[in-house]
Amino acid sequence: MSGYEQQLLTRAEVLEDTGELVDAVIAVLTSAQGAGVDPAAAASLVAVARALNPAAGTGYDTGRSTDRRPGGGYREAVSDAEDDARDRLREVQQLHERVSAAADAARDDLAQARFALAAAYALPVKDRCDGCHEIKQAAIMAAETAIADAQRRTGLCEAAAEILDPLAQRLAAALGRLRQVPADLGEFYQLVYEFIRKGGKLPAYGRWLEGTST
């Protein structure tokens, strides 16, 4: 029966919905804007949202230097989003392995059912029937039923794979860009970090990475 393969397809469809992860990344972007992070340092965050959903709203405007919009802090949120993307990708990969195994089993069953159908058609019958006609017809019907079931199972696995393959690519791309965020910040604000480590003080009313209000 095709119940197991249907469960695999249903789970693939659930995983395909990355709306919560996209919303989390958009929230990170909003916090980054509130914190006044330069767009160049937030480029990877924009790329994450677009990798997950090309239609996602990724407008980024930190405003003028005189703006005093509070941010909600986003470094922890980036880490949470990375954990989510990594967990989703792992589950997608594991599900893909299960789908591949189920597809192989379905194809094997299909081949066996087709062989059984050929064998059923080859069953001899007698002119003076002693039940041989019924036996042959039952064998043919059983083989045809098995073929139809194996074909349904194969189709469900193929439908799941069509979801999982591009989904894994999108998640891998998003995860890679999420992991790039700290490096982007470090590269762009390297001089500022060095300035602070040497005892320098930022302007009293400047917005900064944590996004705290002043």
| The amino acid at 41 | A
* Count of beta carbons in the 10 Å neighbourhood of residue 15: 19
Per-residue pLDDT at 107 exceeds 90: yes
- Looking at residue 41, the DSSP 8-state letter turns out to be G
pLDDT at 62: 60
In 3D, which of 168, 166, 188, 165 has the Cα closest to residue 44? 188
* pLDDT, average across residues 136-163: 95
Amino acid at 75: R
Q: Please, are residues 117 and 144 in contact by the beta-carbon 8 Å criterion?
A: yes
Reference 170, options 21, 9, 10; nearest CA is 21
Question: For residue 64, what are its two tokens?
Answer: 């003028």
CB 166 within 8 A of CB 160: no
Average of per-residue pLDDT values in the chain? 80
Residues constituting the chain: 214
Pick the more confident residue, 46 or 152.
152
The 10s digit of each residue's pLDDT in 158-205 is 999 999 999 999 999 999 988 887 777 665 555 444 544 555 554 444
Mean pLDDT over 52-66 rounds to: 68
pLDDT 10s digits, 16-44: 999 888 888 888 777 777 767 777 777 88
206: confidence class by pLDDT, cuts 50, 70, 90: very low
Which residue is associated with the tokens 């299960």?
Answer: 98
Tell me what pLDDT residue 140 has. Answer: 93
- Cα angle, residue 160 at apex, residues 156 and 165 outer, rounded to 5°: 150
pLDDT at residue 81 above 60? Answer: yes
Residues 6+ apart with CB under 8 A from 181: 42, 44, 45, 78
pTM of the complete model: 0.76
CA dihedral 23, 210, 202, 177 (to 10 degrees): -60
Alpha helix segments (H runs only) across the chain: 3-16, 19-35, 43-52, 75-121, 132-188, 190-197
Whole-number pLDDT of residue 61: 63
